[in-house]
Amino acid sequence: MLACEGVNAFYGPIHALKDVTFAVERGTIVAVLGANGAGKTTLMNTISGLVRPRSGAIHLDGRRIDRLAPERIVRLGVTQVPEGRQLFPDLTVAENLRMGAYLRRGAAVRQDLAAVLERFPALKDRTRQLAGTLSGGEQQMLAIGRALMARPRLLLLDEPSLGLSPILVRQLFRTLGELGREGISMVLAEQNAYLSLEVAQMGIVLETGRVALQGPSPELRQTDRVRQLYLGVRSGDVSPQGGGAPGGKGT
Amino acid sequence: MLGQLVVSGLAAGSLYGIMALGLILIYKTTHILNFGQGDMVMFATFIAYLLLTLFRWPFPAAVLGAMVAGALLGALVDRGVMRWARNAPVTSLFIATLGVGMILQAVAGWIWGYDTKPFPYALRGRPLFLGDVVLRQHDLLVLVVTVLISLVLFLLFKFTKVGVAMRATSQNRRAAQLMGINVGRIGTLSWALGLGIGALAGCLVAPIVYLDLTSMILVMIKAIAAAVLGGFTSLPGAVVGGLLLGVIENLFGGYMPSAIAPLKTTFVFVLIIVVLVLRPHGLLGERTAGGHG
Ligand SMILES: Nc1ncnc2c1ncn2[C@@H]1O[C@H](COP(=O)(O)OP(=O)(O)OP(=O)(O)O)[C@@H](O)[C@H]1O
Ligand SMILES: [Mg+2]
């Protein structure tokens, strides 16, 4: 459903995305792994239209979207849950959710609001509370709920587990799994490689803006690089060199 | 005496308050302090003058015309100037607003001349007597308009989608974009709203200060003071700040010995400095949202 082809993005002289090519099949979750500064957020923002790629193309269901304004891309069904939640702190929970449905109108919005509150019961008693006063976990639920209010076909999640306790992280990934089974395609940027490769069918590894590896999650999990760098397996446990990169481009 | 000074102070303060609302509406969503606001309001008020004298429109129609003209002017300034300078440093943006103001002064001088024009009161009937307090009909009108504008803005920002979107944009522009909000359009709308309300304030001030190229400047300075007093990002704060300013100014003028009474405006500004030292975010201002996630 989404295809990035040779995408290059710059911040002034900084080459933040280098020939990034990957695809998201309908109904699948693609994990984007990478260390700090690898370009995960830049990739998300480029898909969302906040960052304009200098070259390359992004297609959504065959339609080119990399020159569209952010609101047009949202309208086409791509919604982002940005890094660090980025809620509207002085709007209430209900107002934040309504803003998620900014481009929609009618009775369906009200139904979806009820459905989101059903999915995240912690928010239900807090609809009039200011978003800035929610706990970290509640804020993350609100951030995801707000994105769901747009009825996205493709959900972009930028490090949603950041700052959550282990229990909440597991709960979050359970929710993401549910959403996946409900048919929402996702791009999931994470540093938590273990859980994201669990929930995702495919993964790509970004290193300094370049796709270093990509492939189905089970295979990716077996590669040395992912094991060493992202799964916390020390190099003594696997052979440090070698190790094929299934479907990967290598570096 | 006290009642009279307070009531007249509230009427004058309402004008500072409405004037401040226009300024803050623009500031909140675009984070641009419009230094040209006084000149833009002056220009829109001259449109009302034109409609009244040349086209002989009835007063309410002329005010409405000026508000529409103000709104169009605001939208034009945003689309024509501010948008192109969007990535410039803030100081440059402030200078740009000042520049637009000076251009408008020059144009207004060229069209309408440099002499001071009388501007009619909307209501010229007999004043009302409430006990021993005398209330001019114009003062009553100003108070009613202030209440109405505050109510309309409250409903707009609380209950309409576009109003909530304006607040959202002011709180987190990037997140607003990710919701599908066209933040450029929200900015243009804020400029239009800010100068539409500014034009209304101008038409209510002009009968008192008369109309010329610079007659709005002192009122605008007091409006800025009212806004600062109210915390600069709070709309109710601006109105309350304006009312407070008007009342204090009047009480000082009324009760101080005649030798220092004319310093009432100076006194107000001294007081504002004191307030800002004690409460840096103004009386109703929010602390910076540092604690929020
Ligand atoms: N607005 C910006 N201006 C200049 N450089 C930027 C900007 N945003 C990101 N960069 C640079 O681009 C590179 C990629 O940054 P990006 O934020 O996409 O990384 P990331 O993978 O999301 O990192 P993290 O895990 O820390 O969120 C980094 O080198 C960063 O310094
Ligand atoms: Mg990031």
pLDDT tens digits, residue range A8-28? 999 999 999 999 999 999 999
8 Å CB contact of A87 and B293? yes
8 Å CB contact of B175 and A50? no
Record the pTM: 0.90
Testing ligand 1's pocket by substitution, the residue of A7, A10, A11 carrying the most ligand atoms inside 8 A of its CB is A11
Tokens of A246: 């299934």
Q: What is the mean pLDDT of chain B?
A: 91
Q: What is the whole-number distance in angstroms between the Cα of residue A43 and the centre of ligand 1? A: 10
Q: Does B288 touch chain A (CB under 8 A)?
A: no
Residues on chain A touching B291 (C-beta within 8 angstroms) = 132
Q: What is the whole-number distance in angstroms between the Cα of residue B243 and the centre of ligand 2? A: 47
Restricting to B residues 116-155, those with a Cβ less than 8 Å away from any Cβ of A are none
Residue B221 lies in a domain: no
Residues on chain A touching B175 (C-beta within 8 angstroms) = 82, 86-88
8 Å CB contact of B180 and A74? yes
d(CA A138, CA A126): 10
Test the B interface: residue of A88, A105, A156 with most B CBs within 10 Å? A88
Please tell me the predicted confidence (pLDDT) of residue B285.
67
**How large is the ipTM?**
0.89
The total number of structural domains that make up chain B: 1
Residue B81 lies in a domain: yes
pLDDT in tens, B196-237: 999 999 999 999 999 999 989 889 999 999 998 888 888 999
pLDDT in tens, A188-223: 999 888 899 999 999 999 999 999 999 999 999 888
Fill in the amino acid letter for A49.
G
Cα–Cα separations (whole angstroms), residue B241 to B8, B17, B32, B220: 15, 7, 20, 13
Residue B160 structural domain: 12-215
Test the B interface: residue of A78, A79, A86, A146 with most B CBs within 10 Å? A86
d(CA B246, CA B232): 17
Terminus-to-terminus CA distance in chain B, angstroms?
51
Terminus-to-terminus CA distance in chain A, angstroms?
27
Q: Does A90 touch chain B (CB under 8 A)?
A: yes
Residue with the bigger pLDDT between B95 and A244: it is B95
Contact residues of ligand 1, CB 6 A cut-off = A 11, 14, 16, 34, 36-42, 83
Nearest to A31 by CA among A186, A247, A251: A186
Residues of chain A with pLDDT under 50: 235-251
Domain definitions of chain A by residue range: 1-77+152-251, 86-151
**Stretch B229-251: mean pLDDT:** 90
Residues on chain B touching A103 (C-beta within 8 angstroms) = 180
Q: What is the mean pLDDT of chain A?
A: 90
A89 phi and psi angles, rounded to 5 deg: -65, -30
Residues on chain A touching B171 (C-beta within 8 angstroms) = 88-91
Burial code (b: 16+ CB inside 10 Å, e: under 16) for B178-207 equals: bbbbbbbebbbbbbbbbbbbbbbbbbbbbb
Tokens of A115: 């459905």
pLDDT in tens, B117-176: 999 998 888 888 888 888 999 999 999 999 999 999 999 999 999 999 999 999 999 999
Residue B235 lies in a domain: no
What is the interface size between A and B, counted as CB pairs within 8 Å?
A: 78
Q: Which CATH class is domain A1-77+152-251?
A: alpha beta
If pLDDT is split at 50, 70 and 90, which confidence band does B1 have?
confident
Testing ligand 1's pocket by substitution, the residue of A14, A187, A205 carrying the most ligand atoms inside 8 A of its CB is A14
